[in-house]
A and B are shown apart, each in its own frame.
Chain A
């Protein structure tokens, strides 16, 4: 079971100035993170997702609190 508020905080900490919203999709360990950050402008999707994954890397994977993290990134318009 993952702590949603903690995960949001971790992502905000890793990507300063980001707007982060994390939702539970199923069972408390399948999460959805929506992240909007100015740093994403012009960055390849893979690098955008790496920034988000990197913030919660230690919580992600088999036997850890997050089984799956669906990510949607965007830069502010």
Chain B
């Protein structure tokens, strides 16, 4: 099946507009294929973020089109509310400062207000089916 550059672009733009927190990475959240992608996923998961992810590895054009769109040269790339937030360094810094959780409305509750976490309720990240 031949996929045009335009279809790739549309798939990328749709994924950004349809998912509030959208991560483009190497590999999948379950099996990252690069340390930077792995670290970014770890920050998001630890902050309690629900996010969608797209693997850029299956077709080199995904990365090319994505970087043209975002003006950002490297992978991973995290988008929140349609805007590029940054790559691994920025996400890590925002995670450490608490800004990540704050941006996502996940501000850590005070310890005494913390709700017990029922076992097995951890929400799995949505992995977008990659048809590219």
> What is A's interface to B at a CB cutoff of 8 Å?
45-46, 49-50, 53, 57, 60-61, 68-72
Contact = CB atoms under 8 A, between A and B. Distances in A.
A50 B74 contact: no
Contacts of B74: 60-61, 68-69
B89 A46 contact: no
B43 to A, nearest CB: 14
Interface of B: 36, 71-74, 84-90, 93-94
B90 A46 contact: yes
B73 A46 contact: no
Given A45-B94, A68-B36, A50 B71 contact: yes
26 contacts: A45-B86, A45-B90, A45-B94, A46-B84, A46-B86, A46-B90, A49-B86, A49-B87, A49-B89, A49-B90, A50-B71, A50-B72, A53-B72, A53-B73, A57-B73, A60-B73, A60-B74, A61-B73, A61-B74, A68-B36, A68-B74, A69-B74, A70-B88, A70-B89, A72-B89, A72-B93
A49 B90 CA distance: 8
Q: Which of B71, B84, B86, B93 has the most CB of A within 10 A?
A: B86
A71 B89 contact: yes
A46 B71 CA distance: 11
Nearest to A46: B86
A71 to B, nearest CB: 5
Given A45-B94, A46-B90, A60-B74, 4 more contacts: A49-B89, A53-B72, A61-B73, A68-B36
